[in-house]
Amino acid sequence: MKNKFILTLIYIIFFFNVNLLSEENNKVLKIGLLAPLSGSYSELGNSLLYSLQLALDEINDKNVYIIPRDSGFNDNDKLKSAIQNIRAQGAKIIIGPINYQEFSVAKKYDDLIFISPSNVNAEFVENIISIGVNLDSQLTTLIDFIKKKKKK
């Protein structure tokens, strides 16, 4: 699961093209990360941070810079503060929020693009791209595979 997330993240980063969203003078792509780095879900948040750092190490591009911020979990005030801080540092792409209920806060920042690992809804929602793998899509894929192989 982590490998799929990392691979998908790498493709999305390159899809948005480092030169397109970078600052003209220094050609640095700044990407924010919203994750619960403290509290009861800190293990999940730190796992996201470490996975992202590994992906960046693997692509070995010094022009991509990550801005991690603690967004808490279901804490709208902390989330808003983290988004505003990331925006103030010049990032246009933010990975997160991880919780589907927090999409309502992220939608208000229409000048930013959010890439969420949430698996509740795999559809595009305004400025949020949800890349999580949900159970429905997995079951549909399995059923299609079984039918294709003519198995019971």
Q: Report domain extents, the chain.
A: 2-148
Output DSSP code: residue 97: -
Q: Could you give the strand order of the β-sheet that contains 29-35, starting from the edge strand earlier in sequence?
A: 64-70, 29-35, 93-95, 113-116, 128-130, 124-125
| pTM, rounded to two decimals | 0.69
Query: In this structure, which CATH number among 3.40.50.150, 3.40.50.2300, 3.40.50.300, 1.10.630.10 belongs to the domain 2-148?
Result: 3.40.50.2300
- 6-24 mean pLDDT: 57
Whether the Cβ atoms of residue 45 and residue 148 lie closer than 8 Å to each other: no
Considering only residues 131 and 125, tell me which one the structure prediction assigns the higher pLDDT. 131
- If pLDDT is split at 50, 70 and 90, which confidence band does 119 have? low
Residue-level pLDDT at 88 = 95
Residue-level pLDDT at 45 = 87
Q: In what helix (H) or strand (E) does residue 68 lie, and over which residues does it extend?
A: strand 64-70
- 121-135 mean pLDDT: 69
- 127-131 mean pLDDT: 80
Residue 87 scores a pLDDT above 90: yes
Residue-level pLDDT at 34 = 93
Please state, rounded to an integer, the average pLDDT across all residues of the chain: 80
Residue-level pLDDT at 133 = 63
Beta bridge partners of 29: 64
Residue (of 15, 27, 6) closest to 117 by Cα position:
6
Q: Give the side-chain half-sphere CA count within 13 A for 140.
A: 5
Highest mean pLDDT among 25-29, 48-52, 140-144: 48-52
Residue-level pLDDT at 39 = 86
- 18-37 mean pLDDT: 73
